[in-house]
Amino acid sequence: ETGVTQTPRHLVMGMTNKKSLKCEQHLGHNAMYWYKQSAKKPLELMFVYSLEERVENNSVPSRFSPECPNSSHLFLHLHTLQPEDSALYLCASSQEGFPNSPLHFGNGTRLTVT
């Protein structure tokens, strides 16, 4: 299997639930990202992990908690979300040390918070 794989593809959760999104990359990259894509808004960078250390946290609410156990896996733990958190969550990877290395994206998880 190649590329960036995200699971699940679709997720419906209540405001009191706890769930996790998973991302796995098979490209040998060492930087991983979470982006949020809401309707009629540009992609928003949420978190960046470079060499397994979090290097960016763009004022994301604490109800979103990322985890990067190794350079191939990235998780986004979700708890007590709000309906406005409904969006497409995209994971991406790239090669750290090469600023012009393009981001490779997964197909995303469509999250609906009820």
Partner 1 sequence: SQELEQSPQSLIVQEGKNLTINCTSSKTLYGLYWYKQKYGEGLIFLMMLQKGGEEKSHEKITAKLDEKKQQSSLHITASQPSHAGIYLCGADMGAGGTSYGKLTFGQGTILTVHP
Binding residues (CB under 8 A) for partner 1: these are 4, 6, 31, 33, 40-43, 45, 48, 50, 55-56, 88, 90, 92, 94, 96-108, 110
Are the beta carbons of 108 and 93 closer than 8 angstroms?
Answer: no
7 vs 18 by CB, closer to partner 1: 7
- Min CB(101)–partner 1 separation in Å: 6
15 vs 51 by CB, closer to partner 1: 51
12 vs 55 by CB, closer to partner 1: 55
66 vs 108 by CB, closer to partner 1: 108
**15, 71, 76, 81 from 19: Cα distances, Å:** 11, 22, 8, 10
Could you count the other beta carbons within 10 Å of the beta carbon of residue 29? 19
Paired tokens of 66: 């990322």
Alpha-carbon distance 38 to 68, whole Å? Answer: 24
- Min CB(110)–partner 1 separation in Å: 6
- Min CB(83)–partner 1 separation in Å: 19
Backbone phi, then psi, for 84, in 5-degree steps? -70, -5
